[in-house]
Every structure is written in structure tokens, then in C-alpha cells.
Amino acid sequence: MKIFDHHVHMTSRTTDDYQGMAAAGIVAIVEPSFWLGQPRTHVGTFEDYFLSLVGWERFRASQFGIHHYCTIGLNPKEANNPSVAAGVMELLPIYLEKESCVAVGEIGFDDQTPAETRYFEAQLELARKSRLPVLIHTPHRDKKEGVRNTIAAVKASGIDPAWVLVDHNNEETIELTLDSGCWAGHSIYPGTKMDETRMVALIRRYGTERITINSAADWGISDPLKVPKTLAAMRSAGLGEDVIETIAWRNPVAFFAQSERLELLNKADHLAIDQRALWQGNSVLRGQQPTVEPRR
Amino acid sequence: MNAQPLRELFEAGISEDDRRWLADLVPGSGSATPGQLRAAFTGLGRRAGRELLGPQAAALAAQGITGAARWDRATLGRVALLIAWLPTQPQDRQVDAVRELYLRGDYREQVAVLASLACLPDPARFVPLAAEASRTNVTDVFAAIACENAFPALHLPDLNFNQLVLKALFVGLDTHRIVGLPARVTARLHRMVGDFADERRAAGRSVPADIAYIQSLNEGSER
Ligand SMILES: [Zn+2]
């Protein structure tokens, strides 16, 4: 089964993770731009981060046979930092044009400040102009109110809610999100957010329409194999293969295909892995035997 | 280098919509600002397809443009844009402008910048950029400077050229694809390649067949 993890911060992960993900059937990922755990002090470090998302990280993923896409945006936490926020906004139009950028994101609310609101609205407008879907982060604190405010901002922007995925939902927010016409993402994350068993229960209750799951794995205690693990939990709970495939693949593909930039997925599901194309020194492979698959 | 045939070949293959988009963004190539050029250069990635030019590149080969058979349509469009636009910029801004495009490009954009280097006016000024590109770890970008590209053999100093050849061996690229390699073989390159073969043998690993090929080439004079 082909799996698409549509929210995973690979920049913070190792090659072991890539190997495990490929072995578990993950063939495509979306890496949203987000905050790196500590505040950035220069606009230039944002630009280099965006460049690594469309460059080096995409290359790293390709060596494990994984298609790497990204979303570009000013994250809500750093929207509160006046020394970088305006400068990052100026960078966005050019990086949203990059061919592997499939959405504006992740944007939305963190503390729900006036600055967050202002930059959230401005980026919704950018998404509309660039004809790109939107990936929205919802806050951990005061979450339900955050989701309500998120949906209000989406409605006010005039964007078709079918182009918006509101992420990190739970039992308390899923109905709000689905009723708005937006897609409802669920991050299966150890300890917080959502777990496998609860996710199975949500799918039993709400079905699969506009529902997605992802690992949201990052630099914290998280697990990039949460999507395959949740699919396995769905299978042992007796959910049908059709339901599983819709969650694993069809839904995230349908959402991000609206960008018209997922063209590779139709041609080859699995990039031919050719790790010979590396060299010693600072490459991903350091002396071990390369894996070589015939190109398909 | 006259960009017209490149541009014509490119525009014949895109939609009316995209032709208009390009004309709006880069109105006669003369009047485009660096920002407009950059937007067009990036945007071509998803507007022009990934099909390779193949036999269509024959017309370009006749003009001395090497390797175009392996370019995709976006690369063709980008090379055409850059060749037409660069001479319109102030002389003292040109090197930086090309480097900016390279540094801020995704890897397909970087491939296009490298593919155009040999066709740009006064190409020797782009040696530092070509040397920098030769150090990349992204396979496609390295191949774009090392393979089917006339630039390295024509312009890179021995040190950078030898490093490029060694790196091609490490990566397993076919060194026959390095344009002009036979004329650039020196005693030093022979020695470097021989040492590499010894290292491989000492580690119990196979020795790339291309090492014998390079060792079979006669030495020219060191530059
Ligand atoms: Zn995230």
C-alpha cells in the first residue's frame, strides 16, 4: 500500500527515519515550513530554510525513493517577531512559485495575538492569489477557540474551504472543522494531539470524507511511522481496505493535487533509488553498501 | 550567443496562456528587472514540462550548444531567458546576478544556470560559480556542471577541473560525459586517479572502470 504523510518535518529527522518510512510504504511526504524550536534572528536564515526545503531535503528524500513536497509560509509563532516577520512576507511570493511547493503553510494561530491574525489573513490572501491550497496549524492552548477563529478567518478570506486543511484536530474540534467545509487533518503524535486508537474511533464515527492523518514528526518526541502505525490499527480494528487506502493515499493526494504540482505521483510511485550517486565525505552515505534499484 | 533560436524552440512548446504569462513578466528581455527575471525563472519549473528535448536539440547542437538533448523544457526556457537577459544588465552586476539565480534556485533551477554558463558572454568570469557548483552534493546539480557541459574543460583551472573529474569517479558518473576531458589530462590527474585506484584496492573494493579509461589518455601540458 502506498502511503502519503502530508505533514512531517524531515529536516529534523535522520536517514534511519527515511529508511524506516520507505520500508513502511511511505512514498510521498509534505514538509511544511515551521519554526525550528528556537526563534530565528535573521530573515536570511528563513530564506536558507526555504531553500533547503526545495533543495537539499528534497534530494535527501529522493535517495530513499520518497517524493518530497513542501509548504511555504510564515509560521504563527514567528509572526509575533517583528524583526523577521515583514521580511519573511517579502520572500513568500517567490518561494510559493517553486515547483515542489504544494501549499501555503503551516500558518494560523499559536497564541492568537493581533500580529498572528494580521499575518494569517495576509497569507490567506497570498494563497488565493497564487492559487495554492492552505495548510493550517491549530494551537495547543485554547484549541477550540483557535479552531473557531481559524474558520472565521478562512470564511472572511473568500477562499474555497475545500482548498483549506485545518490540521491537528481532536475529538473536540473535528465537527467544527468538517462543518466548515475544510479538510480535517489529525496528527498522530505520542503523548499529545491524537493517538492511533482514538483516530480509529474518529474514522468509525465520521467516515473518511475530507479526513486525513499525518505524523507531524519534528524535533520533539514524535514518530515518523505514525501514519503506517495508524493504518495498521485501522486494519486490526476491522476497517476495510478501501477506507484504509482513502486515508493513506487518496485523501492527501486529492487535497494537494489542487496545487497542480503533484504531477510526479501519476508517473512513478517510487523514485528509482540510486544511492550510487553519492560520494564520500559529507554525503548521506558514508562508506556502506549503496542500495540500487532499477529505474522504473 | 544569440538566444533567439532557443527562445523560439521553447515558445513553440508552451501554451498560449504561459506565453502571455512570460511576456507579461519579461516584456522584451531588455526591460526585465532582476526580480522579474527571477520570478519567471522559477515559475517556468511548473509551467514548462519535464520532457527531454532529445532530437529537437539538434538545431542547438549546430550552434555549438552541447548537451541540450538531455535538457527538459524548463531548462531550455530558463537558458533562453538567461542568455537573452544577462547582456541587458550593467556589466558589473552580471556575475552577481547569475550567482543569485543559482543560490536561490531549487535544484532544477541550478541545473539550468549551470547549463547556460558556457553560452554567456565572457564566460571565464563564472569560474568561481562553476567551482562552487562542482562541490555540490546534489547529484543532478553536479551532473549539470560535470557532464555534457563545455564549461569545465574550457575554463576551470587544473585544480578545480581535477577535483571535478575525481568527484565524477566517486559518484559513478560516466567520465566519457565530461566534455573535453582528453585534452585536460595531466601527470597530476593521472597520479590522483592512480591514488584513488590504490585506495579502492586497499579497502577491498572494486576499481571503477573509468579509471583505466583516464589512465589510457595521454597527458597534455599542465596549465
Ligand atoms: Zn508541523
pLDDT tens profile B24-43: 887 765 678 899 899 999 99
pLDDT given for residue A287 in this prediction: 41
pLDDT given for residue A268 in this prediction: 44
Mean pLDDT computed over B122-127: 97
Chains A, B: CB pairs < 8 Å: 56
A59–B139 CB contact, under 8 Å: yes
Q: Which residues of chain A have pLDDT under 70?
A: 264-296
pLDDT tens profile B185-207: 999 999 999 999 999 999 999 99
Which has more confidence, B56 or A78? A78
Beta bridge partner(s), residue A5: A29
pLDDT given for residue B11 in this prediction: 82
A278–B139 CB contact, under 8 Å: yes
C-alpha cell at A96: 510559493
A55–B106 CB contact, under 8 Å: yes
Is the pLDDT assigned to residue B163 strictly greater than 70?
yes
Q: CA-based angle A107:A170:A29, to the nearest 5?
A: 55
ipTM: 0.84
A278–B104 CB contact, under 8 Å: no
The span from the CA of B38 to the CA of A98, in Å, is 11
Contacts of B138 in chain A (CB under 8 A): 55-56, 59
C-alpha cell at A158: 473568500
pLDDT given for residue B222 in this prediction: 52
Instruction: Please tell me which of the candidates B45, B50, B137 has its beta carbon nearest to residue A282.
Output: B137
- Evaluate if pTM is beyond 0.90: no
Mutation to test the A interface, candidates B36, B99, B104, most A Cβ within 10 Å: B104
pLDDT given for residue B28 in this prediction: 67
Q: Which of residues 166-195 of B touch A (CB under 8 A)?
A: 167, 170-173
pLDDT given for residue A291 in this prediction: 54
Residue of B nearest to A102 (CA): B46
Contacts of B108 in chain A (CB under 8 A): 99
* CA A34 – ligand 1 centroid, Å: 6
The span from the CA of A47 to the CA of A65, in Å, is 26
Contacts of B167 in chain A (CB under 8 A): 279
A94–B106 CB contact, under 8 Å: no
**Closest CA of chain B from A218, distance in Å:** 23
C-alpha cell at A44: 536570511
pLDDT given for residue B24 in this prediction: 82
Those residues with Cβ within 8 angstroms of residue A153's Cβ, 6 or more apart along the chain or in another chain: A117, A120, A121, A124
**With 0-12 CB in 10 A as exposed, 13-18 as middle and 19+ as buried, what is B11?**
middle
Instruction: Please tell me which of the candidates A97, A263, A280 has its beta carbon nearest to residue B170.
Output: A280
User: What own/partner pairs with CB < 8 Å and gap ≥ 24 does B127-133 have?
Assistant: B127/B155, B127/B156, B127/B157, B127/B160, B129/B95, B129/B98, B129/B99, B129/B102, B130/B155, B130/B156, B130/B160, B131/B156, B131/B160, B133/B102
Residue of B nearest to A281 (CA): B137
Residue written as grid cell 539550468: B112
Cis peptide before A209 (omega within 30 of 0): no
pLDDT given for residue A274 in this prediction: 45
Is the pLDDT assigned to residue B154 strictly greater than 50?
yes
CATH code of domain A3-277: 3.20.20.140
Instruction: Please tell me which of the candidates A93, A98, A278 has its beta carbon nearest to residue B171.
Output: A278
Check the CA dihedral A118-A119-A123-A124 and report its sign.
Answer: negative
Q: Which of residues 74-103 of B touch A (CB under 8 A)?
A: 103
Instruction: Please tell me which of the candidates B46, B170, B172 has its beta carbon nearest to residue A99.
Output: B46
The span from the CA of A161 to the CA of A154, in Å, is 7
The structural domains of chain A, with segments of one domain joined by +, span 3-277
B170–A54 CB contact, under 8 Å: no
Q: Are A96 and A72 in contact (CB under 8 A)?
A: yes
Q: Are B96 and B129 in contact (CB under 8 A)?
A: no
* CA A281 – ligand 1 centroid, Å: 31
C-alpha cell at A219: 524535533
Instruction: Please tell me which of the candidates B38, B139, B170 has its beta carbon nearest to residue A94.
Output: B38
- Touching check for B39 and chain A: CB below 8 Å? yes
pLDDT tens profile B67-86: 888 899 999 999 999 998 99
Residue written as grid cell 526545503: A53
**Closest CA of chain A from B13, distance in Å:** 18
* CA A215 – ligand 1 centroid, Å: 9
pLDDT tens profile B97-113: 999 999 999 999 999 99
* CA B28 – ligand 1 centroid, Å: 43
Q: Are A187 and A7 in contact (CB under 8 A)?
A: yes
- Touching check for A272 and chain B: CB below 8 Å? no
Q: By percentage, how much of chain B surpasses pLDDT 70?
A: 97
